[in-house]
Amino acid sequence: MTETPASIRKEIKTFLGLTIIFSAVAYIPLVASYRVGGTFAFGAMLALVWSPGIAALATRYHYHEEIYGMGWGWGESRYQAIAFLLPLAYGGVAYAGIWLTGYGTFEGEAVGAIFSLDYLHFLFVFLLSRIFLATGEEIGLRGFLVPQLAKLTDFTRTSLISGAIWTIWHYPFVIFAEGRLLGMPLLSSEAAYTLFCFTVVGMSATFTMNWLRLKSGSLWTAVLLRAGHALFLLGLFQPITRGPANVWYLIGEYGGLLAVANVIIAFFFWRLRHQLPDTRIES
């Protein structure tokens, strides 16, 4: 099948339509189940994060009768290493800033516990689970959507569009599920701040992940970056940091310092956009 701008737009619309339908089916029980938690909430979340991936696979097969060409290959390992270690770099800078200023403290005694065999086993399982969850979303985003958008427009617009879609898609989860878990009232300055920081992180991280995806040709760069983000921030830095409750507004998963760090990194990769292959298809 010869691709044209019109056919690509049709595929994108189909993908977005299926993602909305599949996500809505998962979101309703997910938001409701977070009141009680448990395995039902996990099952609903699993269905949610795999909604874009299933929608992408269905769309690709419907129009092309195959699922190749979605970035399944590994590509150059250096890009995978960069993706996985980037969260260690920006997370380290953010947390070190808190430790050095004294606003938060580095708990040296916790380091030994982190490197115990039991905790290392936990981190390994945690990493594998995050890879699995991220794969569901990234098959849809970096496997299908981003390469298709890159055939229609430039890197900046591709990232802005895909970033907005990815961020807005997460809003119900951040507002109704994560907000409840963090103990934030629905209509509060804390909730608004969390949503703002999440939006900044989501939009800026999209530029980084899109550059690595388009440069390497592999969707696994985005999967590893997101898995590394969870591993290093939640599994490493957070357990060895102590501070007042509001310190997490700076260095938590939705913290301001991490948002600033992601903007800086995104700007760096945006400056390198000329190094990306031009895959645009002319009318």
Please report how the helices 220-229 and 189-216 are oriented relative to each other, as an axis angle in degrees rounded to 10. 140
Per DSSP, what are the bridge partners of residue 241?
106
CA distances in angstroms from 32 to 10, 172, 176, 184, 211, listed in the order given:
34, 11, 9, 16, 36
pLDDT at 66: 94
pLDDT in tens, 30-53: 777 655 455 566 778 889 999 999
The residue ranking higher by pLDDT, 43 or 274, is: 274
CA distances in angstroms from 190 to 51, 185, 200, 243, listed in the order given:
29, 8, 15, 18
- 279 secondary structure, DSSP code: -
* Nearest of 234, 75, 51 to residue 137 by alpha carbon: 51
Where does the pLDDT of residue 183 fall: very low under 50, low under 70, confident under 90, or very high at 90 and above? low
| Of the listed ranges 72-86, 88-102, 245-259, 262-276, the one predicted with least confidence | 245-259
- 184 secondary structure, DSSP code: -
Instruction: Give the amino acid at 155.
Output: F
E strands within the chain?
A: 105-106, 241-242
Contact indicator for 237, 91 with CB cutoff of 8 Å: yes
Confidence check: pLDDT of 180 > 60: no
Where does the pLDDT of residue 145 fall: very low under 50, low under 70, confident under 90, or very high at 90 and above? very high
pLDDT in tens, 84-95: 999 999 999 889
pLDDT at 36: 47
Q: What is the pTM of this model?
A: 0.93
pLDDT at 40: 60
In angstroms, the CA 74 to CA 152 distance is 25
Confidence check: pLDDT of 146 > 90: yes
pLDDT at 245: 76
pLDDT in tens, 80-136: 999 999 999 999 988 988 898 888 888 877 777 777 888 899 999 999 999 999 999
Residue ranges of the domains in the chain?
A: 71-275
Please report how the helices 256-271 and 155-172 are oriented relative to each other, as an axis angle in degrees rounded to 10. 160
Burial of 60 (C-beta count, 10 Å sphere; 0-12/13-18/19+):
buried
Confidence check: pLDDT of 191 > 90: no
